[in-house]
Amino acid sequence: MIRCIVIEDEPLALKQMVTYIEKTPFLELVASFDNAFEALSFLNANEVDIMFVDINLPDLNGMDFVKSLLKAPRVIFTTAYRDYAVEGFRVDALDYLVKPISYTDFLQAANKANIQAKLKEDDFLMVKSEYKIIRINFSDILYVEGMREYVRIHIENAKPVMTLLSMKNVEQKLPSARFMRVHRSFIVNLGKITTIERNRIVFGREYLPIGDQYKEAFQKFIDGNFLS
């Protein structure tokens, strides 16, 4: 299922988009919003695949909202005007729907999203290391360590793999629902965390610090999984 949200300030248009999503088998509506600020707060704590965004939103328009996101989901813009089409594709919009939107037009855009989602279902990395190309499954990664021009990928029950990549490139490739950057030098597999001690994540004999700028996001992860 493709997880999606709708951002639309017109009640009738919002109801229509929700109806279209609910009748499309491969789409799952996660949330809907009538303004960009509530959507931004939601995206800071949740993972989605597609956003249906009205451009003509109050206070912060949809185009500026998408540009403000550091790591935006794929976007399908909706609007009553055609003037934004070129600018929409400049921000790598998946599609651009002009109101009134028929279900046929909606489904064509949704199918594009479905095709792209299938192309991105790879669950592994392919990296170069010591003149070899190595496949590393996401599920085997414990954490990634940044080392200037290189990264060292620490793997469960295997030797670490060193490769010439930046932390930014690795972070973009790894699914954010499963991996989180906790320090400028460390990205961790959230599913592999078993012990946290004195603001450090413990992997065997290694203690990974949590950087100040990443503490809030990591704490949200802890709070969401904490039993008391």
Q: What's the Cα-to-Cα distance from 164 to each of 172, 187, 190, 221, rounded to whole Å? A: 15, 16, 24, 30
For residue 68 the two structure tokens come to 């403000």
What pLDDT is stored for residue 226 in this prediction? 61
Window from 70-74, 140-144, 170-174, 189-193 with minimum mean pLDDT: 70-74
Same domain, 150 and 189: yes
Percent of the chain past pLDDT 90, that is, above it, reads 60
What pLDDT is stored for residue 191 in this prediction? 87
The total number of structural domains in the chain stands at 2
pTM of the model: 0.54
Most confident of 42-46, 79-83, 159-163: 159-163
What pLDDT is stored for residue 93 in this prediction? 80
Asked if 154 and 203 count as a contact pair (C-beta separation under 8 A), the reply is yes
Q: Which domain holds residue 98?
A: 2-119
pLDDT, tens digit, 9 for 90 and up, residues 199-222: 999 999 999 999 999 999 898 888
Same domain, 149 and 78: no
- Is residue 116 within a helix (H) or strand (E), and if so which, with residue range? helix 103-119
Instruction: Answer yes or no: is pLDDT of 82 > 90.
Output: no
Same domain, 69 and 176: no
Q: What's the Cα-to-Cα distance from 170 to each of 96, 141, 150, 166, 200, rounded to whole Å? A: 30, 12, 11, 7, 22
Same domain, 43 and 115: yes
Residues 6+ apart with CB under 8 A from 10: 54
What pLDDT is stored for residue 227 in this prediction? 55
For strands 74-79 and 50-54, give the pairing. parallel
Mean pLDDT of 155-183: 91
